[in-house]
Each structure stands twice: as C-alpha cells, then as structure tokens.
Structure 1
Amino acid sequence: MIKRLRYFFRLAITIIVVISISFGLIGRLSAQQVAISHPLSALTEAEITTAVSVINREKTLSEMAVFPLIALQEPDKEEVLNFTPGKLFKRRAFLIIYERSQNKTFEGVVDLTSKTLSSWKEIPSIQPALLNSEYELANQVVRADPRWQAAMRKRGITDFEQVKISWWAPGVLSEQEQKTGNRLCRGLSYYKGKHWNYYGSPIEGVVATVNLNTGKMATLIDRGKVPFSEENWDYDVKSLGKLLSPLKALKILQPNGKSFQIHDNEISWEGWKFRYLMHPRSGLVLYQVTSKDGENVRPVLYRASLSEMVVPYGNPEPTWSFRNAFDVGEYNFGLLANKMELGKEIPENGLLLDAIFANEQGESYKMPGVIGIYERDNGMLWKHYEYNTQRNDVRRHRELVMTMTVAIDNYDYSINWIFHEDGTLEVQNELTGIVLAQGTAAEKSEDNSYGSLIAKNIIGVNHQHFFNYRLDLDVDGKANSMIEMNVNALPIDEKNSSGNAIALVETPLIKETAAVRDMDMKHNRKWMIVSADKKNALGAAPGYMLIPEGNSRFFPVEGSKIRQRAEFATHHVWVTKYKPSELYAGGDYPNQTQPGEGLPKYITDDESLTGEDIVLWYTMGVTHIPRSEDWPVMPIHRVGFKLAPRGFFNRNPAINLPE
C-alpha cells in the first residue's frame, strides 16, 4: 500500500511538472535565473523569437511588414538600482514595426515573462531607419528605369552591371516631397568597371530618388556629363604592387593572463565595474559604471551612449545639398558593426565578443566579434625624480579599452570607451575610410571653395562630422547639480598689481534652457556634475568634470534646413532632467523628420537641474577639409573627450599602484 502511494505521489509530481513546463510556469524562472542574470542582460535569441511571435499572434501584419528595430526595453532605473542577485525581475522587448504598403509605423512592447503584448501604438507621420530590403527594391527600380539608363548611356556606360548604386536617406526634402509624406531614398551612382573600389569613380550629377511605398522612381536629376576617374583606386596588395618593407615584429603579450573579468555582460577591472550592451541603433552602450574607492563602491554613471550623429556636406549643388546623414537614427548604427580581428582592429592580447541582433524579418542572429576589449600601455601615469637622493618613482599607465567599428557606406568609424587607472573615463572616436568623392573635369588644382582636388578628376567636398553623447551621470547617487567653470585673467588693481592673477569662477546652471552652452577657449571653459548631498574630506561636493578635446562649430547657417533638423549640433553642451524616454539628441525618428525634434523639444519645459537626476549631452565635431593625403583611404582622425574626477577622490587614486 505504501509503495503504491509513493508511486502515485511521484506520478502526480511528474504530471504537475510536465503541465507547468507546457504552460511556461516552470522553466521561465530557471531560464531567467541561469541564462539571464540581470535586468540589463542582453536579449537572447529565444527572447527575440518570443517577442516577434507575440506580435504576430496579437496583430494582423501584412506580408510587407518589417521590423526595423528589436531591442531590450530598458527596465525602470529604480528597479535596476535596487536589484540584487537572485531577485526576480521583468523582461520586456521593444519593437518597431513598419507597414510599407500602408506607410505606417508602430511601436510595441512585449512582456517576455507573460508572453503578452503590453503596449501597442501607431507613431504618426514618421519614418523609421532604412532597411536592407529597401536598398534591394530601390536598386531594381532604378536599374529598370529608362531615364537612368539614358543617363548612363550618355556617359558611355552600356553595361549597367558595372554601375554600383549607393543608397542614402533622403535628407533635406523639397516642399513637394514633404507634402506627400512618402518614404523615400536617394541613390548615387558609381562606375565600378574592373575595380572593386568604385568610390573613386563617382558618376557626378546623377541622383535618383525612389518612392519606397509605390516601388517607383520619384525623380531623377541629371546635371550633365562630368568625366569620372578611370584610374585604379583599389588598394590591396595586387593593385599596389610592391609594398614597403615590413617593420620588425612588435608583440603585445600578457603571459599571466588578462587583468579584467567578465561575467555575463558585467566587466571588472582595476576598481572599475560596468555593464555593456550592443544596441541595434546606438551601438555599444555602457551601464552602471562604478569606481571602487577603498572599500566603498561609488556610482559614477548610470548609462552612456552615442546618441546621434550628423554629417553635413558643404556643397550647395542640388545633387549634394541633401547629403546630411544621421548615421545613428537613419541607418541603425549598431547593426552596421563590423566583425573585427585580433592583431588588426584590436591588438593580439584582446578579446572579441559577440552580439545578438534581429533582422528586419524578426529573425535573431549572432554577429561574431563585433565588440573588442583589451588592455594597453599608454606611457607614464605619474612620476617624480628626486634630485637630492636620485630616487625615481614612476608608474606605467595601463588602460582598458572597449571598442566597436562600423562601416557606413564609404566611411568607417570606431567608438572607444577607455578606462584609466586614475578614475578618468575617456571617449575616443576614430574616423577613417574613403572620402566621399565628387567627380570633376579638373586634372590639376583650380579654385573651388567647396572642396579640394585630391586626385585627378576627384574633389573631396568640405564636410563635418558631429557626434552627440548622452551621459546619464549619477555622481555618488542620483541627486546631482550642474556647474560651469570659467577661468578669468583678473585686471591689474591693488590686489593684483603684477597682473598675473588667475581666478576660477563656478556658476551653477539651474535650468535646462540656461544649460545650453558652448566651448570657450578664452576662459578654458569646462563643466562639472557634482553630488548635491555629499561632501568630500575637504568639504566640497564630489564631482566629475567634462573635459572637451578637439571640437568645431556647426557651420550651416541660421535658416538652413539642416540646422533646423540637427539643432543638437548647434551647441556643445545640453543638460536635461532625466526622463527615460529621452534617449536621442536628434529625436526618435530623424529620417525625414520635422525641425526641432530631440533636444530642443526636451528642454521646452525648462526643468530644474539643482539636486536632480540629470543627463549631460555633449556634442563634438570635426570639420574635414580634405587633402590629397586622405586619398584613397583616409588615415585615422581622432576626436574625443574625458570625464575626469574632481574632488571625487581624496587623493590621486593611482598613488598606491605597485611598480
């Protein structure tokens, strides 16, 4: 009898477990605890599949429906800050759905735990980022169009397969294009011939605009025949012939292993700890950056990301003036990440990490080796030589670098987050790739105020690159304030008879509209976010200081359409009170956007910045006047900034590093 009871008890337990697994009651918890250890863990392939299946179950989508973006719906900030290991948490996915036949865009949020659709709304009068399938559609439309074919024949091109078409978001729209509200893209033609580097042979003066909703050519501009370069601009070994003699081998070795640790998406190194995600739009995003100060773990930054880019070209010709790429929001910067190689993009001692994304059909896939992390030497960190005793104290400077690279048509970028042993966090962008070329009849230099002749029949057009970073600093907690620091040379008076006095003036920026600021070299201007309720050992508020490096002003003038669309680039510093929905300096949907989106709209309520959870937005720019040395591939140009502690530590935090 007892044996029978035991048998039926075990059978009942087995049935309960099977039913629970079937209905997702068990397995969900274990999967979350084992595979997904933190609210900010990256979406898994299974979660992406679940999110798409819920949308397809709950909504009737057409065959033309696509998913321009699928990403983690970031959890509530308080939930993340209060999370402890083992604690249950919600998992949600954010999806953008575009119905091309209806020209409608929807946003959905899927609860991955309950497998239900928790939010669904149409976002009117906007266009999401361009998609690969649309490039294919536009190619077919243009190549079949008699007007484009005639333009090619006019230039002696009869084999249309020798022409490569590069697709751009439409940029600045005409009045007629604005009225229709159609989804557009513009195509630039290049002669490929026998060479793979077709960017050296632009078919100048021809721009095709395609209506992606109707699948038809909207307009074709042909400004007349211009000679294109027929030289070979390939730059592989075969094309270049004899190469320079190689340098002797330089090896970077760590025989005792790496000094950083990775658990899930959390990285620890030299007192620093942070999480990372690869976002399909923003690329590499950092979360919950903390610094260990003795036995105390102190928050520095909650979230940091590249928010938006804009690349305005400075030629007013109709075939050029629309070229103002918003590379983050119009093309999904993160999805354009490249697979890297050890010993190339990152040194041999580095580590390559993968990312999980979703394609426009909603299918998950793994992108291998798109995140690099490595340690490097950067010379001396600090030194003092004592003459009397000949004592020499010096420490080497080790850095931890986390990087990604992207190719956006002709240009290549790398985004580097650099952690220093002295408590400084640095951002360094690297620009390289191929200058966007303009065809010309000129073979030698001539007057051209919009660009420079960089090779025979090739002009490098003057242009700019502007990057905006969203930095949600939480310096010793969320209660922060913003201070501007200006250095003044004081006039000669009775207190300053020698005229050598240098004074620092600190000015609180107490409202959002007052915190729209620009660099000023005359006053060595910098900005600092300080704790509003903490004091250091000297009685001052601990802070982190924004130290700009190279920068530029935005040259498009007042009244220009690109200035209205990219208003975030017209000032170097903006500060806003934290709102979780405010993530992008140029607005949520910059493709074919209206003026004034993003930061200008975020500050209209003019919130207080005193003792609040505030966000610092920093815009840095590069003005590129091309030179012959930039051709056919541009050497790396670097631009960046630093977030450095000021009063955050009571002494040099690297003073006790071992030799």
Structure 2
Amino acid sequence: MTITDLDLSTHAPTPGDPTHPLSSLNAAEFTAVRDIITSSTSFTETTRFVYVGLEEPHKRDVLAWQAKTAPRPERRVRVMLLDMTTGHSTDNVVSLATGTIVSTAVLDGSTGQLPVLIAEFDAIADIVAEDPRWVAALEARGTSITEVVVVPLSAGYYDYPEEIGRRIVRVLAFRQGYPEDHPWAHPVDGLSAYVDTARRTITRLIDSAVLEIPAESGNFDDPAVQGAPLTTLKPIVITQPEGPSFTVDGEWVSWANWKFQVGFDTREGLVLRQLSFTDAGEERPIIYRASINEMLVPYGDPSPVRFWQNYFDTGEYLYGRFTNSLALGCDCVGEIKYFDAVLADELGNPFTIKNGICMHEEDVGTLWKHGDMFTGSNEVRRQRRLVISFFTTVGNYDYGFYWYLSLDGTIECEAKLTGVLFTSAYPGVASPTATDEPGTDYPYASEVAPGLGAPYHQHLFSARLDMMVDGISNAVDEVDAQRLPMGPGNEHGNAFTKKVTRLGSELESGRVADASVARAWHIVNTEKTNRLGRPTGYVLYPEAAPTLMADAGSSIATRAEFATKHLFVSQYDPAEQYAAGDFVHQNPGGDGVTKYIAGDRSIDGEDIVLWHTFGPTHFPRIEDWPVMPVDYARFTLKPYGFFGKNPAMNIPANEPTEHCSTGGAVHACAGDQ
C-alpha cells in the first residue's frame, strides 16, 4: 500500500487537499470552516470568529505518516467564537474531513477570556463617549471627545467583583489635534476607564489627577521634525546575479544543507517546522517546531491609572493578524522570496496578507580563516545565512522576528523592536520619592520630550522550541564554567573546568541565565553518539538579561510564571502550546508553563519542549523619541558534538569579483569582515 492509498482510504479529501498534515490552512479550508460554523444552530448574527488555526496532529502521528507506517492525520481546525452581545465564548474543534464540529468547550471566564476582538476595539470610543463622567473628565483637562483617540487595552486580572466573568478592557486617552497628528505625543494622563465590552458600560472611572497634556509634536513623518536629509550616504547595492541559493516547494525550503517548512498562524505569526541539516547524505532533525508563542510587555509605573499595564501581545491580541505586508527594497533587500499569510477575519472569511514573510540570503562576514606560519597556507571562507522574518505592528510598537540559519549549523532568533514609545505625562503622579520641584526625576519613567514621559517596561518573549536533536530522545544539561581553588593538581591556580548538571524532571527546569559562569543549556540525544562516542547535541546560549521585574506576589507574576525564569523544560504534549496558557486575557494565573510542569514528568531521554524567555528591560532614552531606533534581543543555538568536525569545511572559496573591491579594482574576496 502506498502512502497515497493510506491517505485516501482513511480520510476524505479536504478543501484544497494540502499535501502535508502541517501545511498552513489555505483559503478554501478557512471558507469550509466558516460554513461549518455558521450553519450550526448556536451561531448568531453577533457571533464573531476570534481565532481560527490549525489543530496540529500529535508529533508521533506526523512522523509515522512521514515514515510511511501510518495514514495521513486528519485535518482539524481550532475555532474560538465570541458572541459580542452576550459574551458567550466557546472553544471548538472542527474536522475538515467530516465537515463537523467534533468538540465544543464553553468558557465561563474563570480561567480567562478569549483574545480581544478588533470589533471590540472599534466600539470603545462610542461607549466611553456616552458616559458623562468621561466627557467631564476630558473637559477638566481642556479637551473633548472630538479631540481624543481612545486606546483599549487588555485588563489583566485584579479580582474586582464587578469584573468576574465579564469581558473588560481598560482605556487610556490621547489628544489628536488633526488627522495627521500622532496622538502618542499627547497623553491625557491621570484618567482611565474600565469598560465591559459586552454590556457597553464603564464599570469604573479612575480620575486620579489633572495633568497638563504634553504639547510638542511627535510627528516623526513630518519633514519639519525629521530635519534636513543627510546627503552624504551613497547607495549600497546587493545583487545575486545567478539568483538565490534556496529552492522552495510550497512551504518547504531547501538551502545549503538545511531543510524546513515555513508556516504561519494568527496567534504566533511565523512558525518554522521540522528543521533538519543534511550531514554526509543523512537528513538529521534538530527542531520539530519553533515559534515565538508569547510576548509580554509589563510596565513598571505603579500610578493609579497605569499599574495594570501588562500586555500579552500574542495571547491577548493575536499579533499574527497585524503582520505587515513587506515591500521589496524597504523591509527586505536582495534576492527575496515572499510568502503570503492567509488568515480568517472576524466573520470567518479568508483574507491574505501579501508578502507577510520575507526570506533571503545575506553575507555576514568571515565563516572561518587561518594563515599558518609554518605551512604558508592562507585560507578564508565567507559566512552567509538564510533569513526568514516577519514584522507585526501591535498598537504603538513594531516587532520584527528574524530566524537565521547559518552554513555552520547555527540557528539564531532575533527580535527587533522599534515603533513609538507608550507615553505618559511626566512626572505623572506624586510618589514618596518624587516632588513637584523642577528637575526632580519621577522614578518610574523617563522624560523624552518636555512634559512627556515614557514609563519603564520590559519586552519578554517566549520561544517555544520543540526539540528533536537527532530524534525524540533528548535531555538538557546545564553547563557552568567553574573556578577551581589552588591546591594539589592546581598548584598555580590557573585551572578551571565546567560543571555539568542533568535536568531530570520538569520541576527542576526553572533555570536562570548566569553570565558570571557562562551558563548554557545543552540539548543532547540520549541514544545517539558522535564519532568520539559522546552524545550528539545542540547548545542554547541565552542572553543574561533580567527576567520579570515585578514582585513574585504580584498578579502579573502569577499570570506569567514563564517570564520569571529564562528556561523551563516540559515533556511534549500537543495540547501545551502557549507559555501563559490558552486563554490569557483576564486569566487569574496558574496556566501555561505553571500547569505544564506541575506533574513533574521526566525530561531525561524524553520528547521535550524548551520554553526560553528572552528580551530587554527598557529604560527609554531621549533618543528613542519620536520614533525608536531598532533595539535587539536574541538567543543562539549551536551544534555541540552534533557533527564529527566543522560542518562548513566544504564551503568553496569565493571567486574574484567586482563586488569584492573598492574603486573599481577586482580583488579576491578574502576580507576579514
């Protein structure tokens, strides 16, 4: 029996008939899901599609199908639905093979709410404008509902009685003098409204202080603000006369020795699946699935109108749907391959973000080099990497996520942060350490323009790394540099070594990066060895940046336990996808990684998932205003004993070319850059 026979005899053809069980949902499938849902008796005119995404099959079923020992897994889709007038929320699974809803779970709000709809955002301005308290508060600040824009924001969880079981957003206001005026420059501070989106009412109005609205323009797109253009920069031309080195078959990419699938999801955005490296003709797996599954932005201003500012941009807002349509020569340069992102809107209809994902090669300097003093040999090779990226705009901030695959087997993930700071009036509100005296600093924000504050905050990303280093039997060793005391065997005190600690179970895995001992985590295969008889593996190099700064007893620490450590490790479970849990909005805490590791399962020689937290702690600079130059956060995975030697030995030397020279002369490409 062929694999085609298995597919057709086991499951009926699905819309679009995707060739792989992990293929991203296509327009025909989204349409089929919409029709299945809207034909159900529980669907109403005010029901909206919050999330529609692939319900991925169990890893073992996919691997068995690829090994031609099992049929293709059934295509299933996860659908979250919200009735905007009642707040009725359901989490559903739809079978595309049978055209039926196979399961429905009703949410009562006790373990969180569905993500916030764009339609809910759009309704907020009218809701608050109908409340005379809001109108009066704006007038007291010298403005009105016709001059302000309102920003609905996720509410967090604070156990307020009137919010139990209700969908709440918290609202701040910004003055906008005219349509082209960027309102982030003019925060209307000391005022916040808490809104029930289903009942369309303000449940609480916080009016703590009347503060002056900052007046200076923040219009970064205004030539008057930009200043005279710099005229001394000459063009840089990036060309690949023979075209790119990669090949693309649908969502599958082959480049150098790499092979992987490019996927996309409304919640997570870019997803890379089944990354493998061909070594001596063998296609060796490294990562089964990699994504940024959560992004937390906790703010550190405890003022009465800002203490709740803690945004989960993935779980609460579904940042994949705000993906930018990229343009050649602007967001990406060189020989570019674009992938479109196909998603479902809030009515269930498919829509396409053209050029949502960018892929290209880039030269990144020297790969390896040596000039030998004894033999006279002088060899150098150029490093290049494949870049797969997307950009998403979530309110004021813009985030780019870049995955880099290098010729030597290195995998890197880099987040690029830019956009506009979330602002406040400065100094905000009085505090024990802040006075009204001129020049006194407010301890929780930077002044970035006259009277304009930018509260201190963090950006904490969670990378979900479903590892598969040479197979599914993996373990994690924590490796620290270790100083040794002078004494027998170390008489001169120069010795140091490494300390290796195997993480045996899930509860042992809450680990913090430590730059003082060069801490790294080695993911090793417990059944495979290299030519020296040692386990094959990859090493995760973290950035030793702070974890969550909020107090351990705070609401946000309970809701985002994943962000209190740099690393957690769990045993694979297809239902465990998100570091803060499935329903993050208004979740009281205890979900996500907290729940996943509670059973303390073995992670030694098992199918494991790494949850890695990384990201910057931001004390904004004046130079970050009115638009922020890109800041960076990253982590690196490198082969450690995975190969028998340097896997980039066979990279050919560059031939002399005019692109290697200056002044028009032709030189060999042997630079050390």
User: Normalised by the shorter chain, which TM-score bucket?
Assistant: over 0.9
Match of residue 591 from structure 2:
597
Q: How does 1:212-611 map to 2 (within 5 A)?
A: 212-240=197-225, 241-245=227-231, 247-440=233-426, 445-611=439-605
Matched, 1:122 2:116: no
CA distance in 2, matches of 1:640, 1:88: 36
CA distance in 2, matches of 1:471, 1:216: 42
Cα displacement (A) at 1:389: 4.8
Q: Which amino acid aligns with 1:190?
A: F
Name the % identity. 37
CA distance in 2, matches of 1:156, 1:520: 51
Superposition TM-score, scaled by structure 1 size: 0.92
Matched, 1:96 2:80: yes
Cα displacement (A) at 1:393: 0.6
Q: Secondary structure, in 3 states, of the residue corresponding to 1:580?
A: coil
Match of residue 170 from structure 1:
155
Question: Would you say how many aligned residue pairs link Structure 1 and Structure 2?
Answer: 631
Cα displacement (A) at 1:226: 1.1
Cα displacement (A) at 1:173: 2.6
Cα displacement (A) at 1:479: 1.0
Matched, 1:192 2:176: yes
Match of residue 186 from structure 2:
201
Q: Which amino acid aligns with 1:73?
A: E
Alignment equivalent of 2:621, drawn from 627, 642, 646: 627
Q: Does structure 1 conserve the Cα–Cα contact (< 8 Å) formed by 2:384 and 2:407?
A: yes
Q: Does structure 1 conserve the Cα–Cα contact (< 8 Å) formed by 2:300 and 2:456?
A: yes
Match of residue 631 from structure 2:
637
1:106-145 Cα offsets, whole Å, 9 max, x none, are 1211111221222222233231110111012211111222
1:360-392 Cα offsets, whole Å, 9 max, x none, are 111111111111111111111111012345432
1:480-524 Cα offsets, whole Å, 9 max, x none, are 111111110100011001111111121111111011111122221
Q: 1:277 to 1:201 in 2, by over 3 A?
A: same
Point out the more displaced range, 92-101 or 618-627: 92-101
Match of residue 73 from structure 1:
55
Q: Which amino acid aligns with 2:356?
A: V
Q: Which amino acid aligns with 1:162?
A: E
Q: 1:406 to 1:443 in 2, by over 3 A?
A: farther
Q: Secondary structure, in 3 states, of the residue corresponding to 1:82?
A: helix
CA distance in 1, matches of 2:262, 2:331: 19
Point out the more displaced range, 228-237 or 351-360: 228-237
Match of residue 64 from structure 2:
82
Match of residue 612 from structure 1:
606
Point out the more displaced range, 147-156 or 564-573: 147-156
Q: Does structure 2 conserve the Cα–Cα contact (< 8 Å) formed by 1:440 and 1:457?
A: yes
Q: Does structure 2 conserve the Cα–Cα contact (< 8 Å) formed by 1:307 and 1:583?
A: yes
Cα displacement (A) at 1:409: 0.7
Q: Secondary structure, in 3 states, of the residue corresponding to 2:616?
A: strand
Q: Does structure 2 conserve the Cα–Cα contact (< 8 Å) formed by 1:265 and 1:275?
A: yes
1:559-597 Cα offsets, whole Å, 9 max, x none, are 111111111110111000101100111111110001221
Q: Secondary structure, in 3 states, of the residue corresponding to 2:127?
A: helix
1:58-106 Cα offsets, whole Å, 9 max, x none, are 3322222111000111122122212349965421111011223333321
Q: Does structure 2 conserve the Cα–Cα contact (< 8 Å) formed by 1:172 and 1:324?
A: no
Cα displacement (A) at 1:174: 4.7
Match of residue 14 from structure 1:
none
Where in structure 1 are there 5+ consecutive unaligned residues?
1-24
CA distance in 2, matches of 1:225, 1:564: 33
Match of residue 134 from structure 1:
120
Q: Which amino acid aligns with 2:514?
A: D
Q: 1:650 to 1:405 in 2, by over 3 A?
A: same
Q: Which amino acid aligns with 2:119?
A: S
1:47-68 Cα offsets, whole Å, 9 max, x none, are 1111121122233222221110
Q: Does structure 1 conserve the Cα–Cα contact (< 8 Å) formed by 2:300 and 2:444?
A: yes
Q: Secondary structure, in 3 states, of the residue corresponding to 2:527?
A: coil
Point out the more displaced range, 537-546 or 213-222: 213-222
1:532-569 Cα offsets, whole Å, 9 max, x none, are 11111000000111011352132111211111111111
Q: Does structure 2 conserve the Cα–Cα contact (< 8 Å) formed by 1:517 and 1:574?
A: yes
Match of residue 110 from structure 1:
94
Q: Does structure 1 conserve the Cα–Cα contact (< 8 Å) formed by 2:14 and 2:75?
A: no
CA distance in 2, matches of 1:651, 1:452: 50
Matched, 1:155 2:141: yes
Q: Does structure 2 conserve the Cα–Cα contact (< 8 Å) formed by 1:310 and 1:327?
A: yes
Q: Does structure 1 conserve the Cα–Cα contact (< 8 Å) formed by 2:120 and 2:197?
A: yes
Q: Does structure 1 conserve the Cα–Cα contact (< 8 Å) formed by 2:57 and 2:574?
A: no
CA distance in 2, matches of 1:443, 1:328: 41
RMSD: 1.9
CA distance in 2, matches of 1:246, 1:326: 42
Q: 1:420 to 1:444 in 2, by over 3 A?
A: farther
Match of residue 7 from structure 1:
none
Cα displacement (A) at 1:31: 7.0
Alignment equivalent of 2:30, drawn from 48, 62, 75: 48
CA distance in 2, matches of 1:648, 1:88: 31
Q: Which amino acid aligns with 1:143?
A: A
Where in structure 2 are there 5+ consecutive unaligned residues?
1-7, 428-435, 654-673
Point out the more displaced range, 228-237 or 556-565: 228-237
Q: Does structure 2 conserve the Cα–Cα contact (< 8 Å) formed by 1:37 and 1:85?
A: no
Q: 1:260 to 1:314 in 2, by over 3 A?
A: same
CA distance in 2, matches of 1:626, 1:595: 29
Superposition TM-score, scaled by structure 2 size: 0.91
Cα displacement (A) at 1:223: 2.0
Q: Does structure 1 conserve the Cα–Cα contact (< 8 Å) formed by 2:413 and 2:634?
A: yes
Q: Secondary structure, in 3 states, of the residue corresponding to 1:137?
A: helix
Q: Which amino acid aligns with 2:37?
A: I
Q: 1:122 to 1:208 in 2, by over 3 A?
A: same
CA distance in 2, matches of 1:264, 1:83: 19
Q: Does structure 2 conserve the Cα–Cα contact (< 8 Å) formed by 1:443 and 1:456?
A: no
